[in-house]
């Protein structure tokens, strides 16, 4: 795998899949990678066929999400449904704007996700740094334990966590959610960050130590800034975990502290009937922040996730 060892510190070519960042400057590379300049016609046809079939699978539901959100309430249950809404309306979105409860859930989601991201990055940076730069007994076992912990069934953990948080009066608090989410993001974040720290030359750290910098100082003012892309990747990953989680937020947080996913269930799946247009409109709105954050920062996330694997 000699070819892959020449990757720059930011491990992935930024053009990889960024719709926004397609024109970002490529890092210098000795070998050209990626697509061939010319393809045979057969390949082109196959490529197009794939795009049509798989692309249709990917995008038609998105279209339907949008179409439903624009359908008037009294038409939504007609069958066969209209593939193109005949009288599109923004009523559903207007209804959202006046739904205070939903804003509460949104606020909770933002708070919980941001706190989770920050805490995850801090904790996993320390841990990843320790795994990357120090050698001690039990290091390997601990690393495997951390990695393996994402395999433990979370539905099962929830059973006891519920009682534990209940005993410490932490049910219905942000703390309960942030602590759980942070822990569940640790394995991947630690692993991603360790990959980044591995690329930081030991000489740099040695030099700083010779200059008399303390260990924490080295971490905070030298290592972390160098690993900034990794930190962003880890933070983004943790944010998304907090934003998307359903079952923990449903079980550990009461109506006051619940985040959007269970909030949506509670708001729109009522006894009377399901308000599909509103639900779809809310779904769109919920997905937006993640989409924006992701599209802005995605090259880091992909880079972080592939760091270990591409490094080989």
Residues 218-277 that bind another protein (CB under 8 A): 219, 243-244, 246-247, 251, 254-255, 260-262, 264-267, 269-276
Q: Is 18 in the site for another protein (CB under 8 A)?
A: yes
Question: Cα–Cα distance between 10 and 229 in angstroms, integer?
Answer: 7
What sign results for the dihedral spanned by CA atoms 127, 131, 136, 142? positive
**Cβ-contact 279, 261 below 8 angstroms:** no
Q: Does 118 bind another protein (CB under 8 A)?
A: no
Please state, in angstroms and as integers, the Cα–Cα distance from residue 123 to each residue in 80, 117, 221, 280, 301, following that order.
53, 10, 16, 36, 18
Minimum CB separation from another protein for residue 201, in Å? 19
Q: How far is the CB of 86 from another protein (least distance, A)?
A: 13
Altogether, the residues listed in the chain come to a count of 312
Rounded to whole angstroms, the Cα distance separating 306 from 302 reads 6
Question: How many residues make contact with another protein (CB under 8 A)?
Answer: 136
> Given candidates 89, 130, 175, 199, which one binds another protein under the rule CB under 8 A?
130
Site for another protein in 172-201 (CB under 8 A): 172, 179-180, 182-184, 186, 190
Burial of 93 (0-12, 13-18, 19+ CB in 10 A): middle
Shortest Å distance, C-beta 165 to another protein? 8
Applying CB under 8 A, which of residues 118, 122, 213, 226 lies at the interface with another protein? 122
- Residues 80-109 contacting another protein, CB under 8 A: 80-81, 83, 101
CA distances from 220 to 61, 117, 126, 183, 226 (A): 45, 17, 10, 22, 10
Please select the residue that binds another protein; options are 156, 203, 212, 225, rule is CB under 8 A.
156
Beta carbon nearer to another protein, 64 or 103? 64
């Amino acid at each position: 795998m000699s070819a892959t060892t020449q990757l720059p510190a930011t491990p992935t070519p930024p053009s990889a899949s960024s719709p926004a960042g397609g024109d970002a400057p490529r890092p210098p590379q000795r070998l050209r990678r990626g697509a061939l300049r010319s393809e045979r016609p057969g390949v082109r046809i196959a490529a197009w066929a794939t795009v049509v079939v798989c692309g249709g699978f990917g995008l038609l539901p998105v279209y339907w999400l949008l179409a439903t959100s624009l359908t008037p309430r009294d038409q939504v249950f007609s069958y066969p449904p209209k593939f193109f809404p005949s009288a599109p309306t923004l009523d559903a979105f207007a209804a959202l704007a006046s739904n205070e409860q939903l804003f509460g859930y949104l606020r909770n989601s933002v708070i919980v996700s941001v706190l989770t991201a920050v805490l995850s990055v801090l904790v996993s940076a320390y841990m990843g740094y320790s795994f990357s730069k120090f050698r001690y007994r039990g290091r390997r076992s601990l690393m495997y334990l951390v990695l393996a912990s994402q395999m433990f069934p979370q539905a099962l953990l929830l059973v006891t966590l519920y009682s534990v948080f209940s005993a410490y009066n932490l049910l219905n608090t942000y703390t309960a959610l942030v602590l759980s989410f942070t822990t569940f993001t640790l394995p991947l974040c630690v692993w991603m960050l360790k990959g980044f720290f591995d690329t930081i030359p030991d000489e740099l750290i040695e030099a700083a130590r010779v200059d008399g910098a303390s260990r924490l100082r080295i971490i905070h003012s030298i290592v972390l800034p160098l690993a900034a892309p990794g930190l962003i990747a880890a933070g983004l990953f943790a944010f998304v975990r907090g934003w998307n989680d359903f079952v923990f937020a449903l079980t550990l947080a009461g109506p006051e502290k619940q985040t959007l996913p269970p909030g949506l269930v509670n708001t729109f799946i009522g006894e009377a009937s399901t308000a599909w247009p509103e639900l779809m409109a809310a779904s769109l709105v919920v997905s937006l922040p993640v989409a924006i954050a992701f599209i802005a920062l995605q090259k880091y996330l992909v880079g972080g996730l592939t760091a270990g694997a591409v490094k080989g």
